[in-house]
Structure 1
């Protein structure tokens, strides 16, 4: 699709709205999704809505190789600096991004049973997933793996946070939990564990054995992704928790 082809002049099967209904939103290019939000293009530059969406991505790409990275935190004021983007278009885009974040971060009901890393991640993502500073949290569980609550223990910088095993187990005991899942975020979006993450996990599992308070997993979250150290490492075979 070209920059200057009006959506009304496109074949019906190529129009973004019709393609979304027929194929699903995940089949649309990012520029097409923006076009649906924009509604109209920019007559002054002879751009269709899709063309204007492509222009937004191109200009955001000048600031970051991944324009979607910029879109996650872009403000209406920043979008309005792009010719053809006024208050209505800028706020529509930012509102859609915020809705997407909230839909992903919706917290499950209390007392939910945590059956797998994905369920635990969904519960913790409100506190961890999109944060710009690194945070360390614990998910507190009873003997049936039902959620008692969660707690952010520490907040660090964009690259570092501090979590000390005594503080972690003290909170577990204080809250009357029988077991726990620990988690932190990587603001960069790279959820691969660092050596520090592995060393901390090893220490927590050792103490968990001594106190008979199982640590069921250590999750790393960031930018819509997550990693389960229980699945990715052999630490739980070295230090069985149950």
Structure 2
């Protein structure tokens, strides 16, 4: 009886209108909803003690914000009351789709002319990463991106980022030029000594094989540094 009473308490008709995000989305559009409301739609149900909206608010508070929640591991999610393996998987899938969408280039090829062009494309994809990722963009003669490859994941070191791996992929794609990127999980894109050393090694290798390194861009938290602008390319 107590369990039934608790369930009745949280039926939709007893929930305030601001805690019924699905109805608000249908009447006002998704853009009008707050983060917690959108999250509540994904969660669908709450617990006996709280609505889906309240559960969403608690998740955001636990991980500080939406960005923190998107970075949460499966184990961290299922460790929270109200989140089982299925809900955790659904949340991770939704966040991953958002990351992939934000990193997609436009259907019309975009010409890369400035470091800012690279940053606009890659910041959404790389600024949230909690490990260092070394990524290469392969360009054609018009500086359009014709391919992208993550070369390795881990701390940047000249012994790990071997020119062979970078230019093997460039040759495979008949690239005219290469742009390399990696992220700093600390959020500070200031280049390290290793960053500069790797850049110089790749620049020299590119000159030898005839596929120039146009830039090496370091991604931070909403910021970036171009080693070309720093004079190292």
TM-score (norm 1): 0.63
- Distance verdict in 2 for CA 1:6–1:217, change over 3 Å: farther
Q: 2:9 matched to 1:10?
A: no
1:181 is displaced (CA, Å) by 1.0
Alpha-carbon contact 2:35-2:66 (below 8 Å) kept: no
Match of 1:39 among 23, 44, 66: 44
Aligned equivalent of 2:192: 195
Aligned equivalent of 1:68: 67
Q: 2:55 matched to 1:52?
A: yes
Match of 2:156 among 129, 152, 160: 160
1:209 is displaced (CA, Å) by 7.1
**Structure 2: where are the runs of 5+ without partners?**
1-8
Q: 2:214 matched to 1:235?
A: no
Aligned equivalent of 1:149: 147
- Distance verdict in 2 for CA 1:37–1:173, change over 3 Å: closer
1:144 is displaced (CA, Å) by 1.5
SS across alignment from 1:182? strand
Matches of 1:212 and 1:85 in 2, distance apart?
53
- Distance verdict in 2 for CA 1:41–1:136, change over 3 Å: closer
- Distance verdict in 2 for CA 1:86–1:182, change over 3 Å: closer
Matches of 1:189 and 1:89 in 2, distance apart?
29
Question: How much is the aligned-residue C-alpha RMSD, in angstroms?
Answer: 4.4
- Distance verdict in 2 for CA 1:204–1:78, change over 3 Å: closer
Alpha-carbon contact 2:163-2:201 (below 8 Å) kept: no
1:211 is displaced (CA, Å) by 7.7
Matches of 1:208 and 1:220 in 2, distance apart?
19
Matches of 2:164 and 2:126 in 1, distance apart?
19
Alpha-carbon contact 2:132-2:153 (below 8 Å) kept: yes
**Structure 1: where are the runs of 5+ without partners?**
none
Aligned length: 219
TM-score (norm 2): 0.64
SS across alignment from 1:97? helix
Aligned equivalent of 1:178: 176
Matches of 1:141 and 1:181 in 2, distance apart?
8
